[in-house]
Every structure is written in structure tokens, then in C-alpha cells.
Structure 1
């Protein structure tokens, strides 16, 4: 591995549950679940400890069902502020080894340790980092070691908890190729179904499929997928990627001053709809929202509010924005309105504090949103109208 890059992928094991165990050592070794609405049987499990998983407790399971499978289960409400604080401490620690650290989410990231590997064996270095993380934060982690990001990510998933795994290209036929396509990083449920329909069951099947035909079936995304199945991934570890999309803003200067609440509501709806599309494009969710109001005397007011349950849909953004508006509007005529969503997290990592009804509602809406987004990408925003939709002519 000395003649190529050495990339680590660090994945914290059962992060939320592990943070709670570090805060409450008496929970160590016990079955623990983190769930929204703990007092409500309809609450949904966000994550659980390995001890709980051994009893069949799974993410998105209802609390009553989890307790039926594991009567001794301890259930705690999530503390997302604490989890983000510990995440910052984790990445500060990793940066003491190298500046080439890329944060992917609150509990995982990449390190390019190529320069360090010339002086330290990669496994010894991984062991030291793993031990330092446990010593300073009392958190278990798994580390994948490989010549690129894709293989390092696949490696870190192979041994949990507290595992260290090396993946080499020359060993792919034994380590990666036999795995089912469902276990390949970057392959979602829909893509897996499509792969199986054309007879591709394993990562090796993808690797050996003729590349031009594969690209014809799956487009530009298919080219990346085919390369990665063959151990090719030229992406750099990018320390700036975390900051590229720190926030998304949408605003509108109004053709006439607004003086009534009823006039403000559709404008905020319009901005919320735009932000939903932008968040979907970036596959992100937001933990903070700010509302900007400019009055007709050019005075600006901005109010920021953090949220425990991440925002992504038009309705979620609108409800938060209109609530802030009602709290802070002084009654003066309004010249401009703007909404900014910030503190973004990747959608697959931003965890909702769900109860049964919101979980079921989100699950039902997801295929609809995917379809709408695909149609809008193909035909433009004016092609689709779902109840209230913005007029694209209003977009700036």
C-alpha cells in the first residue's frame, strides 16, 4: 500500500447510543435505544446499542415492539445538541494527525494519511487513532484502510464494533466481489432492484459487466458505480467539503409592500417550496432556519432558530418560518422576505425524532417526492402542481 494513497474511513459505532453511554457509564453493556417520544408507545427507535440489536431491536422500530423483543430495554430521548458537540470534539482530535480530514456526517469521515504512512504502518496508526478516540471520548469506532474512499468505506463496515480492516485491490475478488449489490456503498434500494432485474446479484457481477453497456443502462452514475466495483475511485479527501453547502437561501423582493398576514403566507410557502427542491438536490436536511424581513424603510430584521428535528419538506420549512414571522413582525409594510436553511447534514445521516404517525407520513411521501423531483428535473418546475406550488415566474 506504500506506493498508493492510504485512506482511512472512520465510522463511529452506534454513535448516539455510545455518546449516551459515555455520559452515563452505568448504561454500558446494557440494551439501550434512542427514541423520539419515549413516554409514548408509538415512539420510533432512532438507533440502538449492540446489546439491544442482539435482541432484535432495529432502527425505525416502534418502542412498544422494541420493548416486547427486549423487556429490559432502556429508552432515552435524543440529545442532538450533545451529539453535535461530541462530533466537533471527534473531528478536532482527528485533525491533530492530519489536516486532510473530510467530515461526511456527525459520526463518520475520511482521512488521507498517505504522508503519515511513510513513517507509521497504517494498521498501527489506525490502532492509535482508535485508542485515542476511545481514551478521550469513550467512544468505539471502526476504521477501514484502503487506497481510495470507496474501498475504505466498504472496509469500515466489515468489522464492528472496534474493528480495523484493510482492503487491497488485489484482494477484491475475495473480499468485495462476492458481496450482494445491496451492500455496495452508493447502491440504494431502487438501484439494487434494477441491477437484479438485469441479472446482477453481486459487486463482482457489476465489475465484470461490459462498461459501455452498463453506462447505457445507468448513465453517468453507472460509470462511477462500475469504476468503484473495480476498485477505481479518484476522489480526493476534501477538508472543505463540509463547508461547501453550509446554507441555502431563497428570498424575494416584493412588487408591492405587504401589510396583511394573508399576503405573507403564500410568499413564505413559495420560498419553502424552492428550499425543499434545493435540499432534495443536495440530499441534505437542515438543523437551523433563519427568517429575514426587510421593511419599506429598509430596516432589516433576521431571526435564527435551531431545531431538534431536521427540516426538509416545504411544509416543515413553512411552518417554522411562519411561526417565527408571527413572533417578530412589528406590523410595518414588508418589502422583502427571505428564508435560509443552515447547519446542513446529509439526508442519510440526519435523523428525525419520529413518532409513529410522522414516520408513516414521511415514508408514504418519499416515493411521491422522488417522482415529483424527477419530473421537475426533466420538464421544469411548472410541469407539476401538488396542491399549492409556486409559479416559476416568481423565481429569482
Structure 2
């Protein structure tokens, strides 16, 4: 066991069984929309594209549990969703009678910038609660918490993670805990929404056996149908089957299905390569207009980001800021540097400069980010180590040329969509 933070009562005995948490947000996009429109809570809500008048192509990105009761599902054609759950006229103005209210729902467009801002807050908590985190998508991640807890108190640890996300961010997640990644994934789906399921090492086969084959990790509708045609209805059936016909039918994936139905999965939770950026964000209790509190927060966030980069041994070429203004408009600015640096003072100065245009605007949340990372074992550089030769090329402090035409410093609006790892 490590010397890191642990729950009270955890001893130091070695335990070969990993403790893996799978954290999966419940209808994440819908939950985000309810953060900025609390009146949508408890109402059928569909987040998607193509429902506006005149649109001909679209799909459902996510549907709240209330909307799913009408047969609306993720990835469904928006035209089908509208047939099953017509759009509520009250979205435009006025009240609706009770009959229409019971038979209609709310529709909202996809707003990835906003969802990623919320996801960054969740991700910050996950990294605070675990030494190893693997982000799978914007709304789910695996955590290896073997060094943070023990099976005797794993239930309480997982509840702490779930409740902290709900309390500090405002969205609900379901958490599955198991010795393997595949079983933890199944466990997180077992009791949605706001669920918590712990499968201890000796209970895996008993937990999996009665589950329909559809619920096995990696089994979609087509594979489930083929398994049933082979007479395999449950995970227990797959676990008890001869693996050879499975391999013949599905190739190597057949062996994987067989192993996972038996609870066997030797994969370890590992991050997806080196991170592409480091960032920190913080929200105000209410939108703030006065410049001083905002610049003070910028200074704090810049210091935290630069400190993390130093601890991780990372140099960075890009520095950026985020300002979220009411209602939830996400504004980002960034500046690229001639070469990779490690300079906390420069992070602070550039972040302040980039934020200038928002200093009198009401701001709900601020963020500071460093990106275009390089992980090196050599001495880290500061901006002062980059000098210009007479021909304008960049040289390091030893006089070695680094670029014939160094990239000019520029300010850009962020383009495209970022991942969960991007502003976190």
C-alpha cells in the first residue's frame, strides 16, 4: 500500500485484488441542461439536433429517464423521437393544459462547450479521488483506487465519490466497484440512476451469472442475438459453455466474452497516453463583475496549473483562459509561444492579459490552461532561455537553433470541440 491519503481503518496489508471504480454519468447532457434550467428537472427532456422547424436531419444525443418512458432513445432519429414525444409548445411561451403537459417534452440543442465545462469539474474530482484515472469519454471514467481504500470500506469510498460530484458539480453519476474493469462497468449500469453497486472479489461469478447476455461488457444487439441462437441466454450460460464454439463464431472476441462472463479480466486501469493539457477551473457563487476578484482567481488558477506542470515534468507551448458568462456562454482565448517552456510567472502574466477583454463582464466561472505539452527529462526551460539570433531564428540558452521560422505569438479563439481532458 502507498503512503497516500486513505480512508480511516485501512491497514497496510498487501492485497493482490485491484479495486476498480467505474464512474458513469446519468444522462449527462440532460443533467447539464438541468443545471442551467432547474425547471427542467423531473420533466421529459431530449437533447439532440434537427428538431427545429425546417431541419431535415438530426438525432437524439441523450434522453432523460422521463423521456425514455415514451420510447425515446440515444442515437434515435429525431423524427422518431418527435413522433413518440412531441415538443412542448410552452418552450416558446405561455402555459399548456394538463393533457398536453403529460404527453409532450422539452427539446434542447447540443452545447458541447458547456457540457465539457461541466465534465471538467467532474474530472477534477475524479483525479483528486484516485491515483490512476482513465477517461473513456466525456461522461465516464475508470478509477484505480487500490491504494486509496480497501474492500471493507469500498462502499463508503465510492459513495463519497458519487456524493461529492453531486454536491460540488450538480450532476448525478452511478458508480460500480469491482476487481476488474469489465465487471465494474457492468456494476455501474446495474442500478441507474444515482446507483452504487459493489462486487467484491469472491462474488463476481454469482453477480454475473443471472445477467442477460446483453449486459456483458462489449455485447451489442447483434452479438446478443447470435449468443441466444447458440442457446446462451445469460452470462452464466456463457461462463459454463465450451469456449471453442465461441472462438469459432466470434474469433478472439469469443474468448474475451467467455473470460469476462467468468469475471476474468486482467486489464489494468491506465491513462490514455500523456495528457494533452493541464487546467484548473473555479466557479463563483454568483456572477462577478468587479475585476479584482476575477484577477485574484486567475492568479490562483495559473499558479495551480503551472505547479502541476512542474510536478508532471511537462513543458508547454500554449497558455489559455476560459471565462463563462451568464447564462452559460463559454469563451476561451489562448496564446502560442515560440517554444516549450516552464515559467509560472509567464503563465500568470499571459492569463491576465488574455482575460482583459472580460474584466468588466459578469463571470460565473474562470479557468486557466496550458497545452501542447512536452514531457522531457532534460532541464526545463523558461521564456528567458529562448533568444533570437540576428536572422530571427529561435535559439536555446546554449545557442542551438531550434526552429528556422518559429511560430509567432498569437491569440486565438478555440476552434472545434475539446475532450474531457481539455479544460480540467
Compute the TM-score of the two structures, normalised by the length of structure 1. 0.58
Structure 1 gaps of 5+ residues are 245-297, 309-342, 346-396
Q: 1:39 to 1:213 in 2, by over 3 A?
A: closer
SS at 1:155 equivalent? helix
Higher helix share: 1
Q: 1:204 to 1:123 in 2, by over 3 A?
A: same
Distance (whole Å) between structure 2 residues aligned to residue 30 and residue 173 of structure 1:
38
Matches within 5 A, 1:65-76: 65-68=83-86, 71-76=103-108
- Does residue 142 (structure 1) correspond to residue 142 (structure 2)? The answer is no
| Corresponding residue of 1:64 | 82
Distance (whole Å) between structure 1 residues aligned to residue 224 and residue 146 of structure 2:
33
Distance (whole Å) between structure 2 residues aligned to residue 37 and residue 151 of structure 1:
36
Aligned mate of 1:168, from 200, 220, 224: 200
Count of residues paired in the alignment:
258
The Cα shift of 1:243 comes to 5.3
- Does residue 187 (structure 1) correspond to residue 205 (structure 2)? The answer is no
Distance (whole Å) between structure 2 residues aligned to residue 112 and residue 188 of structure 1:
26
Q: 1:99 to 1:116 in 2, by over 3 A?
A: closer
Distance (whole Å) between structure 1 residues aligned to residue 112 and residue 244 of structure 2:
45
Aligned mate of 1:6, from 19, 33, 40: 19
- Provide Cα deviations, 1:206-260, integer angstroms capped at 9, x if missing partner: 111123443343322222211111101111111235859xxxxxxxxxxxxxxxx
The Cα shift of 1:189 comes to 2.7
Q: 1:187 to 1:300 in 2, by over 3 A?
A: farther
**Does structure 2 conserve the Cα–Cα contact (< 8 Å) formed by 1:14 and 1:48?**
yes
Q: 1:68 to 1:186 in 2, by over 3 A?
A: same
Q: 1:57 to 1:190 in 2, by over 3 A?
A: closer
| Corresponding residue of 1:16 | 29
Aligned mate of 2:39, from 22, 26, 35: 26
| Corresponding residue of 2:296 | none
Which protein shows a greater Rg?
A: 2
Structure 2 gaps of 5+ residues are 1-13, 88-101, 277-403
The Cα shift of 1:85 comes to 2.0
Distance (whole Å) between structure 2 residues aligned to residue 36 and residue 46 of structure 1:
8
C-alpha RMSD over aligned residues: 3.1
Matches within 5 A, 1:345-360: none
Compute the TM-score of the two structures, normalised by the length of structure 2. 0.55
- Provide Cα deviations, 1:360-395, integer angstroms capped at 9, x if missing partner: xxxxxxxxxxxxxxxxxxxxxxxxxxxxxxxxxxxx
Distance (whole Å) between structure 2 residues aligned to residue 4 and residue 133 of structure 1:
26
| Corresponding residue of 1:79 | 111
